[in-house]
Amino acid sequence: MRVLEVECLSAWYTQGRTRQPVLQDVTFHLDRGEVLGLVGESGSGKSTLARSILGLHRDWEGRVRHYTPRPQMIFQDPYRSLNPAHTLLWTLTEPLRAAGVPPVQRQERAMALLDRVGLAPELAHRYPQELSGGQRQRVAIAAAVIARPGLVVADEPVSALDVTVQRQILELLMDLKREYGFSCLFISHDLGVIYQICDRVLVMEGGKIVEENDTDALFSAPKHPFTKKLLEAAE
């Protein structure tokens, strides 16, 4: 069962009158329940790929097919991914409101998930400014999954956090993935993180996918020189 199919996607940025190409003929697919890693150096077009797939970046052509409604995204910077004008409870109930969940159930589900991601119930009426980066990212993950999306795109969700917090957040994301059954496109420049959680990996260089393989196969026998270079650099 497919969750996402991308065919010949090319994207660009417009600077004045010139087109600056970012992605060239990207083709891949994502199966239900799968965690697909997308790895590459910064500036290789990983984020643009994610944003194009979700419709947040407009300048692209090709074919993108979603087989589940309302895919969600988890962003890198936990300090800008929560609305500073609203409490955590509001932030968690808003996706449910948008998904048409009746008001009586919203608060209950939000409080249950707040507890599930390891935050005390009294934090529900706090504002994001009063939380640490790790706590904020827990809320951001909760807000992304609460309406039970089929696909969650995580764009470097732990890169801005320190190492001990990183591990906890990754574990939380994987636990929730099992419980909620979403598929995940996981973007990172950190091969260790990719190795830890992904089933399959896409390697991206200069806006093209240069290698694609199951995680174990890719790490044990990389084929493309760029993948080899990345692995050597990580050792």
Give me the residues that bind other proteins (CB under 8 A), please. Answer: 54, 56, 70-73, 75, 77, 80-86, 94-95, 98-99, 143-144, 147
Encoding tokens for residue 141? Answer: 């993950």
Cα gap 141→154, rounded to integer Å: 9
Of the two residues 80 and 228, which places its CB atom closer to other proteins in the complex? 80
- CA-based max dimension of the chain: 56
Identify the H or E element spanning 25: strand 18-31
Nearer to other proteins, 84 or 192 (CB): 84
- Closest contact distance (angstroms) between CB of 225 and other proteins is 35
Half-sphere exposure of 58 (CA within 13 A, CB side): 1
How many Cβ atoms are within 10 Å of 179's Cβ, its own excluded?
10
Contact 88, 133 (CB under 8 A): no
* Cβ 143 to other proteins shortest distance, Å: 7
- Cβ closer to other proteins: 83 or 132? 83
Query: Which CA distances in Å does 155 have to 93, 109, 113, 160?
Result: 23, 25, 22, 11
- Smaller CB separation from other proteins, 77 or 212: 77
For other proteins, the closer CB: 74 or 203: 74
**CB of residue 25 vs other proteins: minimum separation in angstroms?**
25
Distance, in Å, from the CA atom of 178 to the CA atom of 235, rounded to the nearest integer, reads 30
Helix H or strand E encompassing 214 = strand 208-214
CB of 141 to other proteins, least distance (A): 11
Cβ proximity to other proteins: between 81 and 183 the closer is 81
Taking the complex as a whole, the smallest distance from the CB of residue 194 to other proteins amounts, in Å, to 22
Q: How far is the CB of 157 from other proteins (least distance, A)?
A: 11
Nearer to other proteins, 51 or 224 (CB): 51
Q: Which residues have C-beta within 8 Å of that of residue 193, sequence separation ≥ 6?
A: 158, 166, 170
Nearest approach, Cβ of residue 231 and other proteins (Å):
31
Distance CA 160, CA 157 (A): 7
